[in-house]
Every structure is written in structure tokens, then in C-alpha cells.
């Protein structure tokens, strides 16, 4: 069962940000920015129940350096509604369904196994780990099949805040030509424009045609004034 999907195709781009002209089908041309000193083997045991991918491990290590990302990190490690670690990997999302080809990430729940999965669009494999960390901070919020506009607003805002902190620590990350970084920089601009509140992010979420079938509230996100 799919939940918590993030799409930025031209058809579903939030109102007011189309000028960024996301090239969602373009393969990333960046050379991997994963730090050469990051030893994947050293973290393989720590993250073996979550991922086998070094880029994901590095992103999760960065999540631990930002206090506001700690909840998401813990959720990915197993402190979530399923009480199991979330499986994370890069995937060609069009192989699941062609309509997912432009999604940045796809949340999936195997109801029989009671297990959560996050599939990151494979075009983002070489995105800066800071951007992947921000994206995962968002995705970890979605833990059931009952997403909502309020939940997406919270997740987008958290993603923007995490990206802001991590890109301040590594300004070069924000200069990447990665399409994921384009997304994160857009969210940061909305966050800053709203004076570090969800004001403009909420407008973008509520006006996003891709979310038109979502209810306003879901469990844990019932507050009308969120």
C-alpha cells in the first residue's frame, strides 16, 4: 500500500513555484558528493536492518546531528507504529508504476508483514547526503495509510527546517545542481518567506493538485490551525 508519496512533476508542482522548472526526469549529472572518508563498512552493522546503501547511511548519520531530525531518525530505526526498522533503498520508481517516475520518494507499507519501506528515486543517489537526510526526515513522518494535508504540511516544514540546518553546516550542498537540492532550496525559501513558520509551505501543500484527494486531518494531525 502506497502512502506519503512526494511528487514534483510539472503537472503537480505547488502553485507559485513552477518557475523553478524542475527537471524531474533528468538523470543527475553530479559526481557523488558522499564524503570519501565515510566508511560504509564501519556502519554496515548499525544500519543493516534499514539499508545496504552507503548514501543512506551517511544521510542518517547527518540526521543525528540535527536535534529536530531525531524523531525521524528514531522512527527509521524502528521507533514507529510498526515497531520495526524502515527499509530504505534507491529504486527506479517507474518499475513500480510509470506514474511514479517523477516522484522524489515513495512510501510503501507491506500490510502482511507490517513493514514500512521508503523508496528514493534512483536519480537522487548522488545528491548531497544533506538533501537525502532532509527528504528522509520528511518521509519518516508517514507511518500509516492515513495521510492528510496537515500531515504533509508538517512533513514539508520539517524537511525545510532540517535542510536549512544541514545546508548551513555545509553551504556547498546547497550549490549542487541536483534536482533534489532544487526541491530543498525551494522549501527553504518558503520557510524563510513565512518567517520560519509553515505559512507559505501550508499554502503550497493545500494548493498542490497531487494532494487534492487528501483529507485535511489524519490521526495525530487533527489540529485545524497546524
Please answer whether residues 142 and 151 qualify as being in contact, where contact means their C-beta atoms are separated by less than 8 angstroms: yes
pTM metric for this prediction: 0.84
In sign, the C-alpha dihedral spanning 136, 141, 142, 143 is positive
How many residues in the chain?
Answer: 226
**Residue 87 host element (H or E):** strand 87-91
Quote the pLDDT of residue 21.
25
Task: Return the sign of the alpha-carbon dihedral for residues 18, 158, 176, 52.
Answer: negative
pLDDT of residue 94: 95
**What is the pLDDT, as a whole number, of residue 10?**
23
Environment class of residue 203 by beta-carbon count within 10 Å: exposed (0-12), middle (13-18) or buried (19+)?
middle
Residue 194 to residue 199: CA distance in whole angstroms: 5
Q: What is the pLDDT of residue 27?
A: 38
What's the maximum distance between 2 C-alpha atoms anywhere in the chain? 46
What is the chain's pLDDT, residue by residue, as a tens digit (226 residues)?
554 555 332 223 233 222 222 223 333 444 344 555 788 899 999 999 999 999 999 999 999 999 999 999 999 999 999 999 999 999 999 999 999 999 999 999 999 999 999 999 999 999 999 999 999 999 999 999 888 999 999 999 999 999 999 999 999 999 999 999 999 999 999 999 999 999 999 999 999 998 999 999 998 898 765 4
109 vs 177: CA distance, rounded Å: 32
CA proximity to 4, closest of 140, 199, 185: 140
CA distance 85 to 68: 19
Residue 210: its pLDDT value, please?
87
Amino acid at each position: 500500500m502506497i502512502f506519503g508519496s512526494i511528487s514534483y512533476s510539472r503537472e503537480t508542482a505547488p502553485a507559485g513555484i513552477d518557475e523553478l522548472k524542475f527537471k524531474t526526469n533528468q538523470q543527475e549529472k553530479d559526481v557523488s558528493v558522499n564524503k570519501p572518508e565515510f566508511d560504509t563498512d564501519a556502519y554496515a552493522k548499525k544500519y543493516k536492518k534499514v539499508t545496504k546503501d552507503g548514501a543512506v547511511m551517511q544521510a542518517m548519520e547527518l540526521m543525528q546531528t540535527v536535534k529536530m531530525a531525531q524523531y525521524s531518525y528514531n522512527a527509521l530505526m524502528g521507533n514507529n507504529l510498526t515497531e520495526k526498522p524502515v527499509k530504505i533503498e534507491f529504486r527506479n520508481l517507474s518499475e513500480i508504476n510509470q506514474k511514479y517516475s517523477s516522484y522524489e520518494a515513495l512510501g510503501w507499507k507491506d500490510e502482511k508483514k507490517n513493514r514500512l519501506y521508503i523508496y528514493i528515486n534512483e536519480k537522487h543517489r548522488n545528491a548531497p547526503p544533506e538533501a537525502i537526510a532532509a527528504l528522509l526526515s520528511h518521509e519518516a513522518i508517514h507511518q500509516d495509510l492515513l495521510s492528510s494535508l496537515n500531515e504533509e504540511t508538517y512533513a514539508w516544514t520539517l524537511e525545510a527546517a532540517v535542510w536549512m540546518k544541514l545546508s548551513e553546516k555545509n553551504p556547498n550542498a546547497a550549490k549542487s545542481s541536483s534536482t533534489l537540492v532544487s526541491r530543498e532550496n525551494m522549501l527553504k525559501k518558503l520557510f524563510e518567506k513565512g518567517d520560519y513558520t509553515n505559512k507559505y509551505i501550508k499554502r503550497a501543500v493545500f494548493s498542490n493538485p497531487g494532494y487534492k484527494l487528501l483529507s485535511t486531518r489524519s490521526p495525530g494531525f487533527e489540529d485545524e490551525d497546524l
